[in-house]
Structure 1
Amino acid sequence: MSEHTITVAGVAVDTRHWIGGERVASAQTFPDVSPIDGSTIGGISRGTAMEAAAAVAAAKAAFPAWAATSRAERARILHAIADGVEKRIEELAIVETTDNGALLRSHRRGVMPRVAHNFRFFADWLLKLEHEDFETRGHTNHVSWDPAGPSVLITPWNAPLMLATWKVAPALAAGNTVILKPAEWTPLTASLLADIATEAGLPAGVLNVVQGYGSEIGDALTSHPDVRRISFTGSVPTAKRIAESAAANLTPLSLELGGKSPLLVFADADLDLAVDLAVEQYDNAGQVCLAATRFLVEESVAEEFTRRFVEKAGQLTQGDPRGEATDIGPNIHPLQLEKIDGFVQRAVAAGARAVIGGHRKDGQYYAPTLLTAVAQDSEIVQEEVFGPVLTLQTFATEDEAVRLANDTRFGLAATLATGDPERAERVTAQLVAGTVWTNCFFVRDLQAPFGGSRHSGVGREGGTWSFDFYCDLKNTVTSPNGWNNHG
């Protein structure tokens, strides 16, 4: 076993970068720490501008051949990658749980199968991607999707491999080459993905994985003149820096950013369903960008809703995410835990009441929290916490509910519970959000557009929208005249 290989729950993981089909070590490393118990998993190669340049050069060199590869062959390789993921679901699940603290049972049953599905979906979508030709004054218009070039994909720590492959799969399907930069808090499964892709026959340089801190390697990637696409999921401040970095080269961006999504509960809703939806917002210890963290409940049912919510939330089990019965695991990092607690303590000092929770627990665990008596313009209502912290406000009218729901700088998602289909239609038409769920939550289909409004993002991905982003769309107009007569 190499000195650069660590063993995570019996799984060997290479800690070096993957550049141009080879493992590349950096002069320095950074520690990867498990949120489960705070233990150091290992030292990860710490990339710099030098590794960034090497990865972009490898992607640029590999691009012409990969772009010229037939759709059928690209799709075949993506399906082979999916096969490799499915063979290693158990290994990927335990490594990712160790690295980011999310539930092992969720990784086994949902997240890692979804990783494989990401590759299969975009492989299949590629094969049916087309636009019907159309006529203009006797001329034929033909729309095509041309590969754009090397693509930098910067991914978050809350669902590392699933969200990475949500970008990697369509970028590769489109014929682009990729430089994947995983979050420094959760780099391990990206390294395993490089192994799986290579075993599946992906040519050298088509997928590159570089690790490190944003300030040391991320900036060098996003400002590189040979990069033709940048896709980022993360915070608004980081997105602004990336946009500034990309501006000099006019590099197209896709940004999926934060959220402060509402859950609107009307008096005519199935209250048990509404409570189930509300408690679901503690999923992944509240570290979900789409989470409906602001409960907006009609006054006449607010007391009963709160009572039932407190009762159901009290049944959740918080602890080691490797346990089958665990519902809520740890938060990702001491810095994130400090941020979460700071939000809560400032809110309480300003007059908020913690109906449940409101405090840290041992290690990197934060008690599931519900705050009431919060003002609409308060920090806790307006800013993303990204932890198991929810707020509850009441409304008297439908118009007030919509006003409160839309009164933040975000617009990623919204959820509403109502028994009236006409009300649902009226309200959803007025909500500012990229995704709206009615009487459900987190139902996602890859053929649907995904993204946010306002400060929640720029652009949409999913289905054809992903290919629209990762490709240069071309319209070829052909005259019926001028052809040589070849008999």
Structure 2
Amino acid sequence: MKHARHFFINGEWVAPSTDTTMDVIDPSTEEVTETIALGAQADTDAAVAAAKAAFPAWAATPLAERVKLMERVREIYIARADEMADAISREMGAPQQLAKVNQVGAGTWHMDGFLEALPEIEFEAPLASSPSERTLLEPIGVCALITPWNWPMNQIVLKAVPALLMGNTAVLKPSEVAPLSGLLFAEFLEEAGVPAGVFNLVNGDGPGVGSQLSCHPDVDMVSFTGSSRAGIAISKAAADTLKRVSLELGGKGANIVFADADANAVIDGVARCFRNTGQSCNAPTRMLVEASRYDEAVAQATKAANETEVGLASDPGRHIGPLVSEAQFNKVQGLIETGINEGARLVAGGAGRPDGMNRGYFARPTVFADVTPDMAIYREEIFGPVLSILPFETEEQAIAIANDTPYGLTNYIQTTDTDKRRRVARAVRSGMVETNGKGFGKGSPFGGYKQSGNGREAGKWGLHEFAEVKAVSGWDD
């Protein structure tokens, strides 16, 4: 990659201030696919200074011009989609079909969602009780965007596009585990003609550049997606300067399957859990099944897991790929072993690689039955292709189990009873509730309750996230 060892600062690709580097490992082969530079304090300071200097002019740029730039970014993104899919596949192991359709597709989906939502935004509105007063929406300032490795373009677009559309300037720190897609995105913005300093990129790790951005006095907002542990650290680092912090964090979603659910509800739930090799914060990793259907559900889930194919990210097909890294592989293997040791009934998969694989961070699609609330696999976000199944007797018990978690990102409900579906959807404590396999629409607010975060992304909600509210009296006097 042309700019792998450079940063994009003030409209130029610049050399880092130090010679610290990091290898990007292809998780399918365990081989180095690229080497990137890691930033130091001087690089962070330069990027923030460029964003701060560019802010007044960009904030004053007419909205129509900001929209035109983003439309041009979208055109370039689509034209270079194959490059992006290849980068994502190499850096984090998404198989080709998933990379092209879902991973890259998430970017255009959210760009369209923001552009379509902009007419709904009232940048200047009268106050109903005082018509001469105006409520204004204004940009926040310099925004630090810290993104994860599991859905790279989904998260970068969800942050960078609304930040810039609303008149903010930005410094992006993509995950050091999967940085290639972020570098490509910076190329797209450069090609589109983004003004110098409006968008900047510095690669680095969380304790380094991530912490430097979080506590930087000239950063006005941090938007972070990642683990709850890291979100807590960022919140603490940002507290000294009282900057705004928006967090999209982990999850431990419950998939409540009632006895009257569709015949394929369990099979679809397994596929949804294993999607992206289970590396999604909104994965339905706890399947709660009404007791009268429990044995059938365990058998269906076992069969579905055993039929789930695992293969190289470079191969075509609908298989799942590897876990992202050795560290993630070891974490997942350790939790599978813990589940066995704590007495959960292993009905599919288990520890180790799939048969015939002796390299790459591949995990076996795994299902545990008879899981209980005291087990680690019930409580911890595993972030791998591991499903836990447990029975429930009543609707009230299902709701209690679903809510028995510090997380609150996404829950799932499967039932043909409309009243019950709506009743349970209101009762579960999560920012999103997917029912009967019906996906969310473009611009739907993405975010969670409790330790799953405190912000909302996508559509008009994501645009508002990057705006300050100003009240001005006597506007028409």
TM-score norm. by structure 1 comes to 0.93
For residue 97 of structure 1, what is the amino acid of its counterpart?
S
- The answer as to whether partners of 2:133 and 2:475 remain within 8 angstroms in 1 is no
Q: Is 2:376 the partner of 1:379? A: yes
Give me the whole-angstrom Cα distance separating, in 1, the residues matched to 2:475 and 2:381: 54
State the Cα distance separating 1:217 from its structure 2 match: 1.3
Give me the whole-angstrom Cα distance separating, in 2, the residues matched to 1:141 and 1:147: 20
Which residue number in structure 2 is paired with residue 484 of structure 1? Answer: none
2:12 to 14, 19, 22: 22
State the Cα distance separating 1:36 from its structure 2 match: 1.1
Which residue number in structure 1 is paired with residue 339 of structure 2? Answer: 347
Which residue number in structure 1 is paired with residue 86 of structure 2? Answer: 94
- The answer as to whether partners of 1:62 and 1:205 remain within 8 angstroms in 2 is yes
Give me the whole-angstrom Cα distance separating, in 2, the residues matched to 1:261 and 1:452: 11
Which residue number in structure 1 is paired with residue 420 of structure 2? Answer: 423
Question: Taking structure 1 as reference, are residues 479 and 254 closer, same or farther at Cα in structure 2, changes over 3 Å only?
Answer: closer
Where do residues 175-190 of structure 1 align in structure 2 (5 Å cutoff)? 175-190=167-182
Cα offsets for 1:447-483 (capped at 9, x unmatched): 22221111111122232322322111112232664xx
State the Cα distance separating 1:123 from its structure 2 match: 3.2
SS at match of 1:292: coil
State the Cα distance separating 1:127 from its structure 2 match: 4.3
For residue 51 of structure 1, what is the amino acid of its counterpart?
D
Give me the whole-angstrom Cα distance separating, in 2, the residues matched to 1:268 and 1:469: 39
Which residue number in structure 1 is paired with residue 188 of structure 2? Answer: 196
Which residue number in structure 1 is paired with residue 440 of structure 2? Answer: 444
2:226 to 220, 223, 234: 234
Cα offsets for 1:181-231 (capped at 9, x unmatched): 000100001111111111111111111111011112111111011111110
SS at match of 2:94: coil
Give me the whole-angstrom Cα distance separating, in 1, the residues matched to 2:385 and 2:111: 31
Question: Taking structure 1 as reference, are residues 54 and 13 closer, same or farther at Cα in structure 2, changes over 3 Å only?
Answer: closer
Cα offsets for 1:291-342 (capped at 9, x unmatched): 0100100111011112122222322211112222242100000011101111
Which residue number in structure 1 is paired with residue 453 of structure 2? Answer: 457
Which residue number in structure 2 is paired with residue 66 of structure 1? Answer: 58
Question: Taking structure 1 as reference, are residues 267 and 173 closer, same or farther at Cα in structure 2, changes over 3 Å only?
Answer: same
For residue 259 of structure 1, what is the amino acid of its counterpart?
G
For residue 237 of structure 1, what is the amino acid of its counterpart?
R
Which residue number in structure 1 is paired with residue 126 of structure 2? Answer: 133
Give me the whole-angstrom Cα distance separating, in 2, the residues matched to 1:237 and 1:34: 26
For residue 25 of structure 1, what is the amino acid of its counterpart?
A
Give me the whole-angstrom Cα distance separating, in 1, the residues matched to 2:457 and 2:83: 29
SS at match of 2:473: strand
Give me the whole-angstrom Cα distance separating, in 2, the residues matched to 1:447 and 1:144: 22
Which residue number in structure 1 is paired with residue 75 of structure 2? Answer: 83
State the Cα distance separating 1:42 from its structure 2 match: 2.3
Give me the whole-angstrom Cα distance separating, in 1, the residues matched to 2:184 and 2:377: 38
- The answer as to whether partners of 1:16 and 1:24 remain within 8 angstroms in 2 is yes
Cα offsets for 1:67-119 (capped at 9, x unmatched): 11100000000000000000001111011101110121122223323313333
SS at match of 2:457: coil
Q: Is 2:403 the partner of 1:411? A: no
Q: Is 2:466 the partner of 1:470? A: yes
Cα offsets for 1:418-467 (capped at 9, x unmatched): 111111111111100100011015x2334222211111111222323223
Which residue number in structure 1 is paired with residue 28 of structure 2? Answer: 36
- The answer as to whether partners of 1:13 and 1:188 remain within 8 angstroms in 2 is no
Name which of structure 1's ranges 15-24 and 284-293 shifts more when overlaid on structure 2. Answer: 15-24
SS at match of 1:366: coil
Name which of structure 1's ranges 244-253 and 20-29 shifts more when overlaid on structure 2. Answer: 20-29
Question: Taking structure 1 as reference, are residues 284 and 147 closer, same or farther at Cα in structure 2, changes over 3 Å only?
Answer: same
Give me the whole-angstrom Cα distance separating, in 1, the residues matched to 2:133 and 2:460: 19
Give me the whole-angstrom Cα distance separating, in 2, the residues matched to 1:436 and 1:425: 10
**Which ranges of structure 1 fall in alignment gaps of 5 or more residues?**
1-5, 7-11, 482-487
Give me the whole-angstrom Cα distance separating, in 2, the residues matched to 1:120 and 1:325: 27
State the Cα distance separating 1:128 from its structure 2 match: 4.1
Where do residues 189-268 of structure 1 align in structure 2 (5 Å cutoff)? 189-268=181-260
For residue 415 of structure 2, what is the amino acid of its counterpart?
T
Cα offsets for 1:248-267 (capped at 9, x unmatched): 11111110100000000000
2:146 to 151, 154, 165: 154
Question: Taking structure 1 as reference, are residues 301 and 201 closer, same or farther at Cα in structure 2, changes over 3 Å only?
Answer: same
Give me the whole-angstrom Cα distance separating, in 1, the residues matched to 2:345 and 2:300: 17
Question: Taking structure 1 as reference, are residues 337 and 479 closer, same or farther at Cα in structure 2, changes over 3 Å only?
Answer: closer
State the Cα distance separating 1:140 from its structure 2 match: 2.2
For residue 467 of structure 1, what is the amino acid of its counterpart?
L
- The answer as to whether partners of 1:86 and 1:113 remain within 8 angstroms in 2 is no
Give me the whole-angstrom Cα distance separating, in 1, the residues matched to 2:3 and 2:90: 12
Cα offsets for 1:379-415 (capped at 9, x unmatched): 1101101011110000111111111111011100100
- The answer as to whether partners of 2:127 and 2:135 remain within 8 angstroms in 1 is no
Name which of structure 1's ranges 74-83 and 278-287 shifts more when overlaid on structure 2. Answer: 278-287
Which residue number in structure 2 is paired with residue 394 of structure 1? Answer: 391
Question: Taking structure 1 as reference, are residues 480 and 226 closer, same or farther at Cα in structure 2, changes over 3 Å only?
Answer: closer
- The answer as to whether partners of 1:297 and 1:394 remain within 8 angstroms in 2 is yes
SS at match of 2:426: helix
Give me the whole-angstrom Cα distance separating, in 2, the residues matched to 1:480 and 1:76: 31
For residue 462 of structure 2, what is the amino acid of its counterpart?
S
Give me the whole-angstrom Cα distance separating, in 1, the residues matched to 2:428 and 2:448: 12
Which residue number in structure 2 is paired with residue 485 of structure 1? Answer: none
Name which of structure 1's ranges 280-289 and 115-124 shifts more when overlaid on structure 2. Answer: 115-124
- The answer as to whether partners of 1:144 and 1:475 remain within 8 angstroms in 2 is yes
- The answer as to whether partners of 2:222 and 2:246 remain within 8 angstroms in 1 is yes
Which residue number in structure 2 is paired with residue 368 of structure 1? Answer: 365
